[in-house]
């Protein structure tokens, strides 16, 4: 090796060292704890953790045996423009917006029930005790009464971070459910926003998919946050209401109007820019669907819905794509939301096709009664020989 070659190598090493030092100077440490959503205090090792910003991966690794992920990243993990992704076989993939440094995330085991649903609450170190509440006819599930009719509080935490996990094993047809979060630590305070300090996040899982995420509105005050309802027809209805209760037993009475459906549900306003972006994402999703890239199509439709939660066509497309990808429970959920949002001249077609998709899934699982109900709903929305034939098959099965 001649002198010039040695000199060039020395220069390259010096440049590399300077780049490493510059990166270290800008990099910030991040720590994330991964737990099971259904087993109290069970750490999950071997979970793949990714941090992204502007679509570019900036950190990647795996949680250790204690469920901890440590790394240096080139931006603050409290940057709201960053996204955290946690994946592990047998669990639903978790996608969360930062801030995320120092927080605990609970991942949900895949659910096999077509009409099951799991809700996971996480928050920060304070308030120490946030409580999940599920109210439905004749039932109030929370820390004092953990088991209800085909639903249960799987995990209860009283020392910060969570998770608090509620699982509905089999939703009752024709019944309405309300999910809410109570700030037990600050139950004596009226008009407080102390719950917001913990940045609570509520995630809803169906099948193997995270289908909805909720964060608290920092501008609102109250120690009881009514997050969402599951309607009589099975779609998820955003509530985002705030009030005050002084005792956990007062939660169910405070939710009575939401449970009856007598309160008007107002949709958040969507900016023209968000609406336009959602339309573009929906078109891109349709293109991905037609080239049979179902994973990409699902992601694009979900992004469109995040921007415009009332986008019925995106829900209809999402249901069809979930079905093609073999995600039956998720397909039923998306089709039900498409039915709830259908409006205008095209509403009968959307409702009929969505009910038909649901009916076919139930029929494939030999759930004849639910399949018959859905075929009949499709036929009531819009006549088709396929719907009539489905009704005949189900009646024959039941006979």
HEC string for 269-315: CCCHHHHHHHHHHHHHHHHHHHCCCHHHHHHHHHHHHHHCCCCHHHH
Q: Residue 10: which pLDDT band, with cuts at 50, 70 and 90?
A: low
* pTM over cut 0.95: no
Whether residue 253 sits in one domain with residue 133: yes
> What domain range includes position 19?
3-97
CATH number at residue 210: 2.60.60.30
Joined together, the tokens standing for residue 293 give: 């890239």
Asked if residue 213 and residue 236 are part of one domain, the reply reads yes
Q: Are 136 and 168 in contact (CB under 8 A)?
A: no
CATH number of 67's domain:
2.60.40
Name the band, by pLDDT with cuts 50, 70 and 90, for residue 16. Answer: very low
Residues 325 and 382 in one domain: yes
Can you give the pLDDT at residue 52?
A: 86
Quote the crossing angle between the two packed helices 312-324 and 347-364, to the nearest 10°: 20
**Pair (390, 306) in one structural domain:** yes
Answer whether residue 345 is part of any domain: yes
Does 134 fall in a domain?
yes
Query: CA-CA distances (angstroms) from residue 25 to 21, 28, 30, 275, 338?
Result: 6, 8, 14, 40, 49
Per-residue pLDDT of 333-345, as tens digits, reads 999 999 999 999 9
Q: Is 53 in the same domain as 24?
A: yes
Give the CATH number of the domain where residue 387 resides. Answer: 1.25.40.10
Does residue 168 sit in the same domain as residue 282? no
Please name the residues in contact with 259: beta carbons below 8 A apart, sequence gap of 6 or more: 135, 136, 137, 176, 178, 229
pLDDT at 152 over 90: yes
Asked if the structure places residue 104 within a domain, the reply is: no
Point out the least confidently predicted range of 3-17, 140-154, 198-212: 3-17
For the cut 90, the answer to whether the pLDDT of residue 36 exceeds it is yes
| pLDDT over threshold 60, residue 280 | yes
Which pLDDT belongs to residue 198? 87
> How many domains are contained in the chain?
3
Q: Which residue has the tokens 């250790």?
A: 64
Residue 266 included in any domain: no
265 inside domain: no
325 and 232 in a common domain: no
Task: Kindly state whether residues 123 and 236 are assigned to the same domain.
Answer: yes
| Gap between the Cα atoms of 220 and 55, Å rounded | 31
Residues paired with residue 242 on neighbouring β-strands, in sequence order: 225
Examine the pLDDT at 161 and tell me if it is beyond 90: no
Q: Residue 97 pLDDT more than 50?
A: yes
Q: Are residues 305 and 380 in the same domain?
A: yes
| 310 shares its domain with 212 | no
Residues 254, 300 within the same domain: no
Q: Given the DSSP bridges, would you call strands 104-107 and 28-36 parallel, antiparallel or unpaired?
A: parallel
CA of residue 6 relative to chain centroid, distance: 56
- Determine contact, residues 90/107, Cβ cutoff 8 Å: no
- Taking only the tens place, the pLDDT of each residue in 62-78 is 999 999 998 877 666 77
The pLDDT of residue 11 is: 58
């Amino acid at each position: 090796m001649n002198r010039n070659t040695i000199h060039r190598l020395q220069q390259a090493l010096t440049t590399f060292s300077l780049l490493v030092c510059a990166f270290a100077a800008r990099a910030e440490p991040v720590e994330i704890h991964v737990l099971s959503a259904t087993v109290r205090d069970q750490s999950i090792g071997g979970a793949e953790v990714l941090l992204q910003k502007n679509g570019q991966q900036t950190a990647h690794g795996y949680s250790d045996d204690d469920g901890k992920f440590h790394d240096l990243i080139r931006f603050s993990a409290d940057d709201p423009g960053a996204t955290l992704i946690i994946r592990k076989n047998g669990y639903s993939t978790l996608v969360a917006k930062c801030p995320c440094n120092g927080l605990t995330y609970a991942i949900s085991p895949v659910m096999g029930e077509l009409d099951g649903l799991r809700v996971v609450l996480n928050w920060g170190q304070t308030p120490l005790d946030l409580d999940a509440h599920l109210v439905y006819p004749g039932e109030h599930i929370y820390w004092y009464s953990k088991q209800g009719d085909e639903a249960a509080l799987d995990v209860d935490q009283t020392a910060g971070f969570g998770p608090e996990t509620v699982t509905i094993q089999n939703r009752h047809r024709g019944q309405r459910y309300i999910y809410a979060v109570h700030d037990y630590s600050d139950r004596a305070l009226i008009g407080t926003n102390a719950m917001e300090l913990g940045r609570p996040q509520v995630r809803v899982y169906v099948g193997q998919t995270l289908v909805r995420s909720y964060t608290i509105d920092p501008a609102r005050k109250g120690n009881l946050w009514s997050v969402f309802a599951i309607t009589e027809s099975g779609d998820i209805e955003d509530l985002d209401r705030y009030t005050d209760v002084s005792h956990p037993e007062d939660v169910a009475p405070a939710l009575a109007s939401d449970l009856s459906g007598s309160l008007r549900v107002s949709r958040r306003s969507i900016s023209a820019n968000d609406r336009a972006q959602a339309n573009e994402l929906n078109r891109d999703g349709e293109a991905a669907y037609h080239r049979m890239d179902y994973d990409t199509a699902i992601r694009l439709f979900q992004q469109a819905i995040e921007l415009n939660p009332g986008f019925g066509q995106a829900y209809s497309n999402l249901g069809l794509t979930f079905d093609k990808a073999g995600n039956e429970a998720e397909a039923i959920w998306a089709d039900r939301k498409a039915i709830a949002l259908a409006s205008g001249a095209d509403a009968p077609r959307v409702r009929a096709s969505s009910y038909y998709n649901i009916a076919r899934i139930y029929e494939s699982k030999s759930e004849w009664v639910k399949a018959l109900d859905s075929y009949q709903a499709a036929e009531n929305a819009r006549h088709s020989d396929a719907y009539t034939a489905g009704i005949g098959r189900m009646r024959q099965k039941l006979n």
